[in-house]
Amino acid sequence: MLTLAIETSCDETSCAVIKDGREVLSNIISSQIDIHRKFGGVVPEIASRKHIEAINNIIQEALDKADITFNDLDLIGVTQGPGLVGALLVGISAAKALAYGLDIPLIGVNHIEGHICANYIEHKDLKPPFTCLVVSGGHTYLLNVKGYTEYELVGRTRDDAAGEAFDKVARSIGLPYPGGPFIDKLSKEGDKDSIPFPRVYLDDNSYDFSFSGLKTAVLNYINQTQQKGEEIVVENVAASFQQAVLDVLVDKSFRLAKEAGSDKIVIAGGVAANQGLREMLEDRGKKENINIYYPSRILCTDNAAMIGSAAYYHYINDEKSDLSLNVEPNLGLN
Ligand code: KG4
Ligand code: ZN
């Protein structure tokens, strides 16, 4: 079963061909990041225009790389939301045109679910149920994944997403956008115990997150240090901030896994590329007999292969979208 998938929710125009939901025949990702970096973040109108310019070529490239033609395709999958409305519209319009023209089924995919499914591509034996932490630029979710299309949402951020906090703190210490990978790298050279930034656990039983207080604490630290005329050691700021985020993410993930009786923690989304997060989960996983899963870096950040995997599992679950499919910029998980 060959699925052609399209992802245009933010600033990557991506198209992939996936076999049977797990095997990547091609995964073309065209990033606009160099354009948006000049503005310190993604500019929605520019993103939409760039998607329009790129989409047809990216689709053709995905077919060529997979060494197939349109007529070999069985299914079209496309990101329906959440994301930028104009950007999503470009992908959904292309997907509808293909499904109609080729007379094959169409599936609208939740982008967050796509991030989770990146793990099915990476780990061929991974099956639900498992505990899952989704940490991306726009979302932070803690879930019990009960089946391939069945999710129980247990916790979410009450303010900033984890990736958003990384990006804002990175900006405050003069790093380029998106700052997550730069903080990750700098952290390795800093002392994570040098600055006591707050860990926000909310109340004892909560699986929710809050990162805006931590972000403010970092900004206050920078201002106060500058006012005192002291030098800011960016490596120490990066390492101490990152550790404050990771302590909470890791702690809540393990608490949920234990409560759910799960021996698997799966992480997904851009921040799942973070080396510190992976190592911390693995160290604790070894002590507590919990296996840790994450996708390779290229499958952590936005790509169409993960959308193809999610589309496949919805299709075999007898679901189908029709040509009235519309974008849902604020789509949640359930
Ligand atoms: O999943 P993603 O590509 O886009 C969304 O769906 O939001 O995630 C992008 C986010 C950005 O905030 C970026 O800074 C963060 O993932 N990120 C990282 C790392 N690589 C990407 N954050 C921390 N460490 C990393 N290595
Ligand atoms: Zn994403």
pLDDT tens, N- to C-terminus, the chain (334 residues): 999 999 999 999 999 999 999 999 999 999 999 999 999 999 999 999 999 999 999 999 999 999 999 999 999 999 999 999 999 999 999 999 999 999 999 999 999 999 999 999 999 999 999 999 999 999 999 999 999 999 999 999 999 999 999 999 999 999 999 999 999 999 999 999 999 999 999 988 999 999 999 999 999 999 999 999 999 999 999 999 999 999 999 999 999 999 999 999 999 999 999 999 999 999 999 999 999 999 999 999 999 999 999 999 999 999 999 999 999 999 998 6
**Whether 28 and 163 share a structural domain:** no
Q: Is the CB of 181 under 6 A from ligand 1?
A: yes
**Whether 73 and 178 share a structural domain:** no
**Whether 107 and 176 share a structural domain:** no
Residue 97 is part of a domain; what is its CATH number?
3.30.420.40
State which residues form the domain around 286.
128-296
First to last CA, the chain: 27
Distance CA 135, CA 153 (A): 14
Residue 223 belongs to a domain: yes
Residue 73 belongs to a domain: yes
**Whether 278 and 150 share a structural domain:** yes
**Whether 202 and 75 share a structural domain:** no
Which residue's CA lies nearest to atom 13 of ligand 1? 180
Hey, is 127 helix, strand or coil? coil
Which residue's CA lies nearest to atom 10 of ligand 1? 137
Please give the number of the atom of ligand 1 that sits closest to the Cα of 164: 12
pTM: 0.97
Distance CA 143, CA 134 (A): 8
Q: Is the CB of 180 under 6 A from ligand 1?
A: yes
Residues 6+ apart with CB under 8 A from 244: 197, 198, 199, 214
Residue 326 belongs to a domain: no
Q: Is the CB of 16 under 6 A from ligand 1?
A: no
H or E element, residue 140? strand 140-147
Residue 11, amino acid: D
What spacing in Å lies between the alpha carbon of 11 and ligand 2's midpoint? 10
Please give the number of the atom of ligand 1 that sits closest to the Cα of 277: 24
Q: Where are the alpha helices (DSSP H) in the chain?
A: 33-37, 44-66, 85-102, 111-122, 162-172, 180-187, 212-227, 234-260, 275-288, 297-300, 304-316
Residue 332 belongs to a domain: no
Q: Is the CB of 270 under 6 A from ligand 1?
A: yes
**Whether 71 and 145 share a structural domain:** no
Q: 184-202 burial by CB neighbour count: b if 16+ within 10 A, else e?
A: bebbeebebeebebeebee
Residue 323 belongs to a domain: no
Residue 166, amino acid: F
Residue 122 belongs to a domain: no
**Whether 100 and 204 share a structural domain:** no
Residue 82 belongs to a domain: yes
Distance CA 315, CA 320 (A): 6
**Whether 311 and 286 share a structural domain:** no
Q: Is the CB of 169 under 6 A from ligand 1?
A: no
Q: Is the CB of 301 under 6 A from ligand 1?
A: yes
**Whether 277 and 165 share a structural domain:** yes
- Residue 275, both tokens: 């080396």
| Cα radius of gyration rounded to whole Å, the chain | 20
Which of 136, 172, 297 has the most ligand 1 atoms within 8 A of CB, as the residue to mutate?
136
**Whether 140 and 205 share a structural domain:** yes
**Whether 45 and 101 share a structural domain:** yes
Residue 207 belongs to a domain: yes
Residues of the chain by 3-state class (helix, strand, coil), percent to 5: 45, 20, 35
Number of domains forming the structure of the chain:
2
Which residue's CA lies nearest to atom 23 of ligand 1? 180
**Whether 132 and 73 share a structural domain:** no
